[in-house]
Amino acid sequence: MKIVYNGEMESRAFKDILGKEIPALAEKDPDVIYLDADLMSCIGTAKWGAANPDRAINCGIAEGNMMGVAAGLASQGFKPIAHTFGPFASRRCFDQVFLSAGYTGNDITVIGTDAGICAAFNGGTHMPFEDMALYRAIPTATVIDIADANQLTSVLHQVNDIEGVKYIRCGRKMAAKVYGDGEEMPIGKGITLREGKDAVVFATGIMIHEAFMAAEELAKEGIEIAIVDMFTVKPLDKECALKYAKETGAVVTAENHNKIGGLFSAVTEALATEIEVPVEYVAVEDVYGEVGPQDYLRERFDLTSDHIVRKVKKAISRKAK
């Protein structure tokens, strides 16, 4: 796996990848049908959608209905991909996804963009800190949190061949580049980004960038942390989680999500019955979102490299007792 992280932002926005890869998937596979809740212009699919009305359906601002349409298409052998903003892809239509897709065994892919603080100026109403928790509660669902453009490309080319409900959360704008072009990242596997002996940070999404910056600061003090991208939050790579927990003896999770039900919950559930190890978290507390730029929101909700540094030191101190 080629890791190219150097702190610089990716030249391509997530919406550019979605606008390119969704049409490519549809052109490659006649069973792929794209559904959107009146947001095609926001992720770059509007022009292609207008030219291909039989392959791209604007369901309007009716997300629950869109999920019902997706489930109906899946029941007839199609491979629907449905997109809307994170809060509307999760809490607004949860019952339809759970029953019409999950319970009835219809395979659908749901993309929720601008999840967590990525919603920025759209504010608290559009800022889901609970979307992963909701999807993790659906039996056999696959839940993915995207770090960079190349990872999104890799995941999009895998999900249609996975059974069940698949939820992909990502931003719409640019993020730090982590992976080399053309890299394949198998869904369900943790990806080691950096080795370390003193603690491990399991991170997802935009928190990968913060974890790398924290690692550099900690290294100045002689503390070497491993970083693992647990982009598949469900099913979690339990073998990987146990390996690093045992080798380092201290665990920190970092996510752009509420601590309840997301990566922190997934990791602690995986470790709890197997190993005793101190686990700390960097995540949103039990609060609602706010309006503001991402830089402000990172500080407001403690989603920073400084907070990771503090939590790593706390976990290591607990290990020593």
Averaged pLDDT score across all residues of the chain = 96
Mean pLDDT of all residues in 219-247: 98
- At residue 287, the pLDDT reads 95
11 is written with which tokens? 């030249």
Q: Quote the pLDDT of residue 319.
A: 86
| Residue whose entry in the numeric block shows the structure tokens 């749901």 | 110
Rounded average pLDDT over 159-184:
95
Q: pLDDT by residue (tens digit) across 173-193?
A: 999 999 999 999 999 999 999
Predicted confidence (pLDDT) at residue 321 exceeds the cutoff of 80 = no
pLDDT tens digit string along 82-137?
999 999 999 999 999 999 999 999 999 999 999 999 999 999 999 999 999 999 99
pTM of the complete model = 0.97
Structure confidence at residue 1 as a pLDDT band (50, 70, 90): confident
Structure tokens at 252: 């920190």
Q: Is pLDDT of 39 > 80?
A: yes
How much is the average pLDDT of 151-176? 96
72 phi/psi in degrees, rounded to 5: -65, -40
**How far is 136 from 134, CA to CA, in rounded Å?**
6
Helix axes 149-159 and 14-28, enclosed angle (nearest 10):
30
